[in-house]
Amino acid sequence: MLIALCSAKGAPGVTTSGLALALSWPRGVVLAELDPAGGDVLAGYGRAQLSAGGLAELEVAARRGGLDGQLDAHLLRLDGTGRARLLPGLSDPATARHVGWERLATALASVKGGAVDVVADCGRLRAEHFPAAVLRRADAVVVVTGSTLRAVRASAQAVAELRDEGTGLGPGAGALAALVVGPGEPYGEREIGEALGVPAAVLSDGAPAGRLFAQSALLRAARSAAVGLAEFAAAHEVRLAPPPASSASATTAGGRHDR
């Protein structure tokens, strides 16, 4: 499954949410940093590791010979087990215009025949070179929002835009969800869900983080959000899948939306 995260203007938290979700994801997962403004995870969580590969090199490889079988070589481990891996984002945002988002979206929608999920950090909606193709191929699109009036208003606008078939952005209204970062300022998860007209989950850093990121309140909260989102995307994936064909070949997440 491909789960795309994005935000409206003035609503930070997409990268942090993507990282927390990936580390908490109930299955094998790749966190793909597709924000055209550049990747952040290696500089922050990765403590300034220099990227040896990632999206920029994957793009070069794809131009030479396609993307088949290329992805693995460009992933880094996010956790000790390797269950969560990272496709590091662009270190130079100027290269975003060279990325073939359509080709990449197709590859990410069916990693290992759908056995590995992809959480894609797509950055801010409407940014230049925004990976709209990834949203179109996604099983679920999650708008990351704050809980202030300003943030909720901007997110409502974003949801309306994603719903609008004419923008060619969303995968359909049913597959939209919101992730509320830091609720209660002043709105809560339920009010925000109602205002946006989409299911909302909360991801908060709650109390001050502990010494270890993995034991922090943020990651504890992420665990339930990750399970909820995985179920949400899976439910949508099942709804969109065509009726079983007579052949035994399984339908993968990548085979569904041909638009």
Ligand X SMILES: Nc1ncnc2c1ncn2[C@@H]1O[C@H](COP(=O)(O)OP(=O)(O)O)[C@@H](O)[C@H]1O
With the C-alpha atoms ordered 3, 168, 39, 66, is the resulting torsion angle positive or negative?
positive
Burial of 248 (0-12, 13-18, 19+ CB in 10 A): exposed
Using CB under 6 A, pick the residue from 2, 8, 14, 229 that binds ligand X. Answer: 14
**Nearest alpha carbon to residue 46 among 66, 31, 24, 29:** 31
Q: Which is nearer to Mg ion, 35 or 139 (CB)?
A: 35
User: Out of ligand X, Mg ion, none, which partner does residue 197 contact, by CB within 5 to 8 A per kind?
Assistant: none
**Would you say 203 or 233 has its CB closer to ligand X?**
203
* Residue range at the interface with ligand X (CB under 6 A); choices 14-22, 58-66, 75-83, 193-201: 14-22
Q: Decide whether 181 or 195 has the Cβ nearer to Mg ion.
A: 181
CA distances from 211 to 19, 84, 143, 214, 217 (A): 17, 21, 29, 9, 11
Q: Does 4 bind ligand X (CB under 6 A)?
A: no
Among 2, 4, 8, 15, the residue binding ligand X under the rule CB under 6 A is: 15
Residue 16 binds: one of Mg ion, ligand X, none (C-beta under 5 to 8 A by kind): ligand X
106 binds ligand X (CB under 6 A): no
| 12 in contact with ligand X (CB under 6 A) | yes
Nearer residue to ligand X within complex by CB, 158 or 181 = 181
Report the Cα–Cα distance between both ends of the chain, in Å, rounded: 18
Of the candidates 7, 15, 24, 51, which one interacts with Mg ion according to CB under 5 A?
A: 15
Least gap, CB of 180 to ligand X (angstroms): 9
SS3 221: helix
CB atoms within 10 A of CB 68: 8
Q: Which of 1, 3, 4, 16 binds ligand X (CB under 6 A)?
A: 16
Least separation in angstroms between CB 118 and Mg ion? 16
Interface mask toward ligand X for 26-45; x: CB under 6 A? --------------x-----
Q: How far lies 154's CA from each of 9, 120, 131, 168, 200, in Å?
A: 6, 21, 19, 19, 15
Distant-in-sequence contacts of 234-242, Cβ < 8 A, 24+ apart: 234/1, 234/139, 236/139, 236/140, 236/171, 236/174, 236/175, 237/1, 237/139, 239/174, 240/139, 240/172
Q: Which is nearer to ligand X, 181 or 226 (CB)?
A: 181
Residues near Mg ion (CB under 5 A) are 14-15
Residues near ligand X (CB under 6 A) are 7, 12-16, 40, 181-182, 203-205, 218
